[in-house]
Each structure stands twice: as C-alpha cells, then as structure tokens.
C-alpha cells in the first residue's frame, strides 16, 4: 500500500498496482523515495478522491481486455468525466502533475467534446474566458476562414 497526502492534510491508502499508473509516483517508488507518506501539495482531497477512483478502476488495463470488461471500463470513463468544468480543470491539473497520461487524455477529450459546435461567444461565457485578442487579431483569424465561424448549426447556448 502507498500513502498519499492531499494539500488539505488528508491521507489516502492506495494499492501500489493502482498508484503506479502515475508515472511520477512510479518513479518515486523505483527510486526508493516513497517509504512513508507521499505529500501532494498541488492536489486537494476532493480531487485526489476522484483520481484514486479512476486509478482503482483502471488497475490492470490488460486484464480488462482479456476478460471482456472493456465496455465496462468505457462506461465508467463516460460517467467519470460527467463533472462540472471546475472539477474537470482540477482533475486535468492533478493528472498532469501526477503524470497519468490516460487520465489526461480522457479529460482533455471531454473538454474538447463539450466545446464542439459551440460558438466562440458561448465558449467564452461558459468558461469565463476574457478575450485578450485585439479586435484586429480576431478579425484576422476570422478572415482566414470566415465560413468556420458562421455555420447555421453553431450552438450559441452555454450549457
């Protein structure tokens, strides 16, 4: 068992087989730096619980393929990313810090899927992004491919 500690001082025990899906922790264990508790100063307990849930489910990916549990895993992934933008951001950052490539890809794909077919106005409003492009820069980008920004089917809602 490996002990992880979140930045709000909560400790979690995780099976080594699960936790080594994190390249960062795998390296720490291999280098003998994981003898006691591993502090994770960038991750709060709420996010860490999510990440551990993912790691436990994804233990032994190969085994899932053998026993035909791939669909099960796919369904889990779909459910897993069903979270708000705020939480998704935290999980992406945690996956990046822990270097769990599959989880990063899953979350980035989910972010992209949510942005698909959205108007830029809707995207900025949903994510509270401040547009720091100047009007000229924006117009230049639009002029390159005006058709891409004025499709009749573009979704302007912010859900």
Partner 1 sequence: MPSILGGDIDPSSWSIIQVDLSQLNIQFLILCGVAGIDLAVEVMPDWSELPYDLLVLVSRCFNLIEDFLNFGIACKSWHSVATKHNFNSELPRIPWLMLAEEEEGNSFRKIFSLSNGMILNKRIPKASRKRCMESMGWLFTVGEDDGETSLLHPFSGVQIELPHQYTTVDYYDH
Both structure tokens of 125: 């409003």
118 contributes a contact to partner 1 by CB under 8 A: yes
117 contributes a contact to partner 1 by CB under 8 A: yes
112 contributes a contact to partner 1 by CB under 8 A: yes
What's the CA angle centered on 49, arms 47 and 54, to 5 degrees?
100
Nearest distance from C-beta of residue 36 to partner 1, angstroms: 29
Region near partner 1 per CB under 8 A, out of 13-21, 31-39, 51-59, 80-88: 80-88
Decide if 18 contacts 59 (C-beta within 8 A): yes
Nearest distance from C-beta of residue 49 to partner 1, angstroms: 14
Is residue 22 classed as helix, strand or coil in its secondary structure?
A: coil
Containing 39, the helix (H) or strand (E) segment is strand 37-39
Decide if 121 contacts 129 (C-beta within 8 A): no
109 contributes a contact to partner 1 by CB under 8 A: yes
Containing 4, the helix (H) or strand (E) segment is strand 2-5
64 contributes a contact to partner 1 by CB under 8 A: no
Residue closer to partner 1 by CB (options 34, 106) is: 106
Both structure tokens of 56: 């436990």
Binding site for partner 1 (CB under 8 A): 84-87, 89-90, 92-93, 96, 104-105, 108-109, 111-113, 115-120, 123-124, 127-133, 137-138, 141-142, 145, 147-149, 151-154
């Amino acid at each position: 068992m490996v002990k992880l500690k979140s930045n709000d001082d909560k400790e979690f025990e995780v099976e080594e087989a699960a936790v080594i899906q994190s390249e960062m922790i795998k390296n720490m264990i291999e280098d003998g730096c994981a003898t006691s508790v591993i502090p994770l100063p960038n991750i709060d307990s709420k996010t860490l619980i999510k990440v551990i849930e993912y790691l436990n489910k994804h233990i032994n990916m190969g085994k899932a393929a053998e026993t035909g549990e791939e669909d099960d895993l796919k369904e889990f992934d779909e459910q897993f990313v069903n979270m708000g933008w705020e939480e998704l951001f935290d999980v992406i950052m945690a996956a990046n810090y822990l270097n769990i490539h599959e989880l990063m890809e899953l979350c980035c794909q989910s972010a992209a899927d949510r942005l698909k077919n959205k108007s830029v106005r809707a995207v900025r409003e949903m994510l509270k992004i401040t547009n720091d492009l100047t009007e000229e820069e924006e117009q230049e980008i639009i002029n390159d491919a005006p058709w891409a920004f004025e499709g009749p089917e573009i979704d302007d809602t912010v859900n």
